[in-house]
Chain A
Amino acid sequence: AQSVTQPDIHITVSEGASLELRCNYSYGATPYLFWYVQSPGQGLQLLLKYFSGDTLVQGIKGFEAEFKRSQSSFNLRKPSVHWSDAAEYFCAVGNNDMRFGAGTRLTVKP
């Protein structure tokens, strides 16, 4: 069965520092992989997705993610975090019946 693990419940980074949010998945075939962001009181916004091809995927808001099949990972990165990036981030895998991770809450220190 497909599943997603986000090992970090909460991460704090300083503004301007680099960011990496971890995501590990379990899936029977070539996975479709996604990252979403959720601000308080709002729905999720799709940051980026991977279906096939280039394993480094560019998304909105300066985010990117790299698919590593050998590690079953799809980590999200950003070179320089802004205070407005503080939010909850969700990794997801699958097609129609998607599975979401439990989320990583990002706090940005001034």
Chain B
Amino acid sequence: DAGITQSPRYKITETGRQVTLMCHQTWSHSYMFWYRQDLGHGLRLIYYSAAADITDKGEVPDGYVVSRSKTENFPLTLESATRSQTSVYFCASSDGDGNQPQHFGDGTRLSIL
């Protein structure tokens, strides 16, 4: 079925490790987004991408790296994980009608020990 798939759904790692969260969409939507969700903060935008090879920072980009070599994939990498990055991460996409996230994945729950 078409949609957004995030992997893994759950991840536990240690501080200092590198971890990559994967996001794949089947619609060929131009816009993709990464958010983190923390209690009391709602969702905060980490990075977004308007098209392949075009990315831009959001509200909380520090400590994260993204790439978009193909339209359908938008991986998020924590180069050296810290405990403050423990969160639930959501990937989203949009077909460009207003450039706001329309479709969300089910999230990745990341715990950093």
Q: Chain A residues in contact with chain B, CB under 8 A?
A: 4, 32, 34, 41-46, 49, 51, 90, 92, 94-103
Contact = CB atoms under 8 A, between A and B. Distances in A.
A59 to B, nearest CB: 13
Given A46-B102, A49-B100, A92-B100, 9 more contacts: A41-B107, A42-B104, A42-B107, A43-B103, A96-B56, A96-B100, A97-B58, A102-B41, A103-B42
A100 B58 contact: no
B34 interface: no
A73 B43 CA distance: 19
A42 B90 CA distance: 9
A22 B14 CA distance: 40
B100 A32 contact: yes
Contacts of B103: 43, 46
Interface of B: 4, 40-45, 48, 50, 56, 58-59, 90, 92, 98-107
A45 B42 contact: no
Nearest to B57: A97
A44 B98 contact: no
B62 to A, nearest CB: 15
Given A42-B106, A44-B90, A90 B42 contact: yes
Contact of B42 (A41, A94, A102): A102
B58 to A, nearest CB: 6
B45 A43 contact: no
A46 B103 CA distance: 7
Given A43-B106, A44-B90, A100 B42 contact: yes
A95 B99 contact: yes
Contacts of B44: 100
A42 to B, nearest CB: 5
A51 B45 contact: no
A43 B100 contact: no
Nearest to B90: A43
A80 B92 CA distance: 30
